[in-house]
Chains A and B, each alone.
Chain A
């Protein structure tokens, strides 16, 4: 089974770099990085990642709008919203946009990796098993 491929989207360079390094260290393949929602949509279309880690507030295009566009183009791709804001209403908006999960930055250690694994498992459950006839 190939390594899960991730797309990391955040306009904060230091955080994005640290997150990418952590994910690589944790055994994930970071297929691409983006600093705004519009680049994220374009890269998602191009790279077809398993999971997108998406910031909420970014220039050009916000995380929720970018999520909607990615899910429209590739429903199997799972998006985890990773934001510094925490609110039930925001969680609801994230769910409505099609996010797999809503995580706050600074969440307890291990939560992020666990959620990514859950998202990957969910994505795989949506795809046909290997060896299935392709129509």
Chain B
């Protein structure tokens, strides 16, 4: 109270009543050494339709719940001895309401106890709010636990991160764990520390929402992968003062992704193996036998010579020619199943042959091949990229109506990037997906093939705008790795 307000307020008991009568949910009772109430005030009296007359002249134990009479008497006596007591109880007329009763001594000016006071407060609303808050917190904690999502708040003034219980569990730390930002290295995986530190530095000045994936290391050495989402909160000057965010434990999802990639990769390996065996069977058996039959037919023609019937000679010639056509077709099949040039000479040579073939089949003006490759890649990666290019070029031949196409291979720090582009008619990718005819373009197969090796696959196209198919593959540990 300011000096001016104090000077205007009524003095003594009147002033006390003025203050008490404006305290919500409060009843003040003053009692003498006989526990008899001599003053009663507080807004809660009026709010419940009572008057001070309901209390004054009665003893404290009489005005409360009969069940509390004994303890009320004991607490009054304690107050009269100069001690304080607190009782939590239910309402006398409304048992659903909760009250706190504080029993305190009432001292005279010389410090001696001349009586006591009961400060009774209706805490029903407060308790309900507390219960609701606790329930809400429980639900939040439960939801975080089920979703494996922890939350955090970073106060830039203290430069410390406060973690939710679930985040503490994700990090393998005790509940209530706080992380000073200077100690990031205690939590973040060493390989991801630079990435996270750079993002933290960025968040200090930019409140924009951001998402980042990284690994954390628990004290027991366990590594978990988390997906963090965050945004900054600024003050009136626009300065970032706090950041809030969530960390989702996606370790299981990443493991499942890796397992899916591993299985897909095995499927493709099995398929390539089967194709390889089939190609070998066709090459070593059927093609050789058919070629031998062709030689025998030609020998038969020679034996018949001029003495033979022209009709028989014509028939033999036709059969030999048909056989030659079939062998050529069979050879092409073998080439598709297992391109010898890919095995013997590598990806670039195989792509050049495939581009040349596409150029001829689609009557393209040109189908350029640009490559940054300097050596051989892992055979699995070479095969996957070749198959993607093969399918993409088949699409150019069959659907694009293009005049130019280009195949390029670029090498980056992360891996190798294959692009097959054309200037043809393009297509509406949404429409293709909606009609479920995506398999017609082999797009699903291409995507799966790339993703099986932890890569990324993209198609950029629009009607009349040509098509660019892009496959990005990591070069190291292709199944475990994923394109960043």
Chain A interface residues toward B at CB < 8 A: 12, 14-15, 17-19, 21-22, 25-26, 84-90, 104-110
Given contacts A106-B323, A106-B328, A109-B317, whether A14 and B292 have CB atoms under 8 Å apart is yes
A110 (CB) vs chain B CBs: closest residue = B298
For A25, list chain B residues within 8 Å (CB): 299, 302-303
Quick check: A15 and B335 within 8 Å, CB to CB? no
For B481, list chain A residues within 8 Å (CB): none
A33 to chain B, nearest CB (A): 14
Quick check: B294 and A84 within 8 Å, CB to CB? no
Q: How far is the CA of A67 from the CA of B299 in the complex (A)?
A: 27
Quick check: A85 and B331 within 8 Å, CB to CB? yes
For A85, list chain B residues within 8 Å (CB): 283, 331, 334-335, 340
Quick check: B352 and A18 within 8 Å, CB to CB? no
* Interface check B296, CB cutoff 8 A: yes
A102 to chain B, nearest CB (A): 13
Quick check: A21 and B299 within 8 Å, CB to CB? yes
Given contacts A12-B284, A22-B296, A87-B353, whether A106 and B340 have CB atoms under 8 Å apart is no
Proximity string of chain B (291-332) to chain A, C-beta cutoff 8 Å, 1 when within and 0 when not: 111111111011100000000000001001101101110111
Interface size class of B (residues with CB under 8 A): 35 or more
A12 to chain B, nearest CB (A): 4
Quick check: B317 and A105 within 8 Å, CB to CB? no
Quick check: A109 and B292 within 8 Å, CB to CB? no
B293 (CB) vs chain A CBs: closest residue = A18
Quick check: B294 and A106 within 8 Å, CB to CB? yes
Q: How far is the CA of A12 from the CA of B287 in the complex (A)?
A: 11
Chain B interface residues toward A at CB < 8 A: 283-284, 287-299, 301-303, 317, 320-321, 323-324, 326-328, 330-332, 334-335, 339-341, 344-345, 349, 352-353, 356
Quick check: B331 and A22 within 8 Å, CB to CB? no
Quick check: B320 and A89 within 8 Å, CB to CB? no
Q: Which of B296, B303, B330, B339 has most A Cβ within 10 Å?
A: B296
Name 28 A/B residue pairs within 8 A (Cβ), A-sorted: A15-B289, A18-B293, A18-B296, A19-B292, A19-B295, A21-B296, A22-B296, A84-B288, A84-B334, A85-B283, A85-B334, A86-B332, A88-B353, A89-B341, A89-B344, A105-B288, A105-B291, A106-B287, A106-B327, A106-B328, A106-B330, A106-B331, A107-B324, A109-B294, A109-B298, A109-B301, A109-B320, A109-B321
Q: How far is the CA of A106 from the CA of B321 in the complex (A)?
A: 9
For B292, list chain A residues within 8 Å (CB): 12, 14-15, 17-19
Q: How far is the CA of A86 from the CA of B349 in the complex (A)?
A: 14
Quick check: A18 and B299 within 8 Å, CB to CB? yes
For A87, list chain B residues within 8 Å (CB): 335, 339-341, 353
Q: How far is the CA of A104 from the CA of B95 in the complex (A)?
A: 102
For A18, list chain B residues within 8 Å (CB): 292-293, 295-296, 299
Q: How far is the CA of A84 from the CA of B288 in the complex (A)?
A: 7
Nearest 7 A-B pairs (CB), nearest first?
A106-B327, A105-B291, A18-B295, A18-B292, A15-B292, A12-B288, A22-B299
Q: How far is the CA of A121 from the CA of B296 in the complex (A)?
A: 25
B80 to chain A, nearest CB (A): 109
Quick check: B331 and A86 within 8 Å, CB to CB? yes
B350 (CB) vs chain A CBs: closest residue = A89
Other-chain contact of A84, B283, B298, B317, B326 (Cβ < 8 Å): B283
Q: How far is the CA of A86 from the CA of B287 in the complex (A)?
A: 12
A26 (CB) vs chain B CBs: closest residue = B302
Other-chain contact of A22, B283, B295, B344, B356 (Cβ < 8 Å): B295
A59 to chain B, nearest CB (A): 11
Q: How far is the CA of A25 from the CA of B302 in the complex (A)?
A: 7
Quick check: B335 and A86 within 8 Å, CB to CB? yes
For A86, list chain B residues within 8 Å (CB): 328, 331-332, 335
Q: How far is the CA of A22 from the CA of B291 in the complex (A)?
A: 12
Quick check: B321 and A108 within 8 Å, CB to CB? yes
B305 (CB) vs chain A CBs: closest residue = A25
Q: How far is the CA of A109 from the CA of B300 in the complex (A)?
A: 12
Q: How far is the CA of A14 from the CA of B323 in the complex (A)?
A: 17
Quick check: B298 and A88 within 8 Å, CB to CB? no
Quick check: A90 and B341 within 8 Å, CB to CB? yes
For B324, list chain A residues within 8 Å (CB): 106-109
For B317, list chain A residues within 8 Å (CB): 109
Q: How far is the CA of A89 from the CA of B297 in the complex (A)?
A: 31
Q: Which of A19, A21, A89, A107 has most B Cβ within 10 Å?
A: A89
B310 to chain A, nearest CB (A): 16
For A14, list chain B residues within 8 Å (CB): 288-289, 292
Q: Which of B294, B297, B332, B352 has most A Cβ within 10 Å?
A: B294
B449 to chain A, nearest CB (A): 23
A24 to chain B, nearest CB (A): 9
Other-chain contact of A15, B288, B326, B334, B352 (Cβ < 8 Å): B288
Quick check: B352 and A84 within 8 Å, CB to CB? no
For A19, list chain B residues within 8 Å (CB): 292, 295
Other-chain contact of B291, A15, A26, A110 (Cβ < 8 Å): A15
Q: How far is the CA of A17 from the CA of B335 in the complex (A)?
A: 26
Q: How far is the CA of A88 from the CA of B349 in the complex (A)?
A: 10
For A89, list chain B residues within 8 Å (CB): 341, 344-345, 349, 352-353
Known: A25-B299, A89-B344, A109-B294. 12 other contacts (CB 8 A): A12-B284, A14-B292, A18-B299, A87-B335, A87-B341, A88-B356, A89-B353, A104-B331, A105-B291, A106-B290, A106-B324, A109-B317
